[in-house]
Structure 1
Amino acid sequence: MTYALVTCSGISNTGKLTTQAGMLLMQRKPGMFLCMNCKQSAESLRMDAGGAERLIVLDGCTDCCATKKLTSAGLVPDIHIIATELGIEKKGMAEVQYGEIERLVCAVIDAGSKKS
């Protein structure tokens, strides 16, 4: 199973968290995850996500910036995870904690195994 991850990539701790979790997933599961950020163009997102079997969106908070970008690109995620809904507090420019990255990575893996 291959997954395309679209991350929030905002400047807050939860936005940075989504990108760091995506990078860690690519390292831990080579070839299984492709990580993209919502700052890419709509066309680029469509092209990059095209070969994946599942599309996962990682939003940092309930503003859902990555989801909005995907919608504008005409894409619908198979899995949608919001970091703040996992109990991770949005703290402005605070540093991302390793435990938060692990929590988000585990949520992605768990969600992916349930949708298989």
Structure 2
Amino acid sequence: MAVETGCSCGCGGEGEGEGKKRIIFPCAGASNVGQLTNIAALELEDEGYGTFACTVKLAAGAAEMKEQCREADEIVVLDGCPNRCAATVAAAQGIEPDQAVVVSELGIETSHNFEISDEEIEIVLGAVWEGQGRGEKRAPHDHAGDCTCGCGRK
């Protein structure tokens, strides 16, 4: 009996970790959608999609993190709200994401209720796996208007 060695994630690789080398940066903001990016990044790593990375370490300009980004096939940024803080951090470090997903644009309302449902997690995971964050490049949010995500912006 033959043993299948193909990767189960659909990346086309020969096995786990053999497909595209992806780095996932969540915003980890102070709202449900911000924390949802953390949960989604962990789940995506567990599913073999990519490697969960520290956005704050990137913001600090850590040389090894910037090198890992240069060596990656794909950079994925998960932002919770239109402020796009993780995308702003990436841009400040000269990193242009290949995929940028904004959770609040997926129909999940921003709140300070941190009871995150499995359905909400699946919405974000599906958006990333389907590549919904690919396409036109958008500039990080310019912080115009009122914000309810807890970032302190007026």
Q: TM-score range by the shorter chain?
A: 0.7 to 0.9
**Secondary structure in 2 matching 1:84:** helix
Q: How many residues align?
A: 112
Compute the displacement of 1:46 (Å).
1.1
The answer on whether the counterparts of 2:21 and 2:50 sit within 8 Å (CA) in structure 1 is yes
Q: Give the corresponding residue for 1:27.
A: 46
The one-letter amino acid paired with 2:21 is: T
Give the greater-gyration-radius structure (CA): 2
| Range moving further from structure 2, 33-42 or 74-83 | 33-42
| Range moving further from structure 2, 67-76 or 33-42 | 33-42
% of aligned pairs identical? 28
Q: Which structure shows the bigger proportion of residues in helix conformation?
A: 1
Q: Does 2:117 match 1:97?
A: yes
For the aligned residue pairs, the C-alpha RMSD in angstroms reads: 1.8
Gaps of 5+ in 2: 1-19, 136-154
Q: Which structure shows the bigger proportion of residues in strand conformation?
A: 1
The one-letter amino acid paired with 1:108 is: V
Compute the displacement of 1:35 (Å).
1.0
Q: Does 2:86 match 1:86?
A: no
The answer on whether the counterparts of 1:6 and 1:58 sit within 8 Å (CA) in structure 2 is yes
Gaps of 5+ in 1: none
Q: Tell me the TM-score normalized by structure 1.
A: 0.87
- Which string of whole-angstrom CA distances, capped at 9 and with x for unpartnered residues, describes residues 50-71 of structure 1? 3310111100000100001001
Q: Tell me the TM-score normalized by structure 2.
A: 0.67
For residues 61 and 38 of structure 2, the distance between their equivalents in structure 1, rounded to whole angstroms, comes to 18
- Which string of whole-angstrom CA distances, capped at 9 and with x for unpartnered residues, describes residues 3-60 of structure 1? 111110112111110010010011111xx41111322222254133233101111000
Counterpart mapping for 1:1-116 below 5 A? 1-29=20-48, 32-40=49-57, 41-43=60-62, 44-111=64-131
The answer on whether the counterparts of 1:11 and 1:93 sit within 8 Å (CA) in structure 2 is no
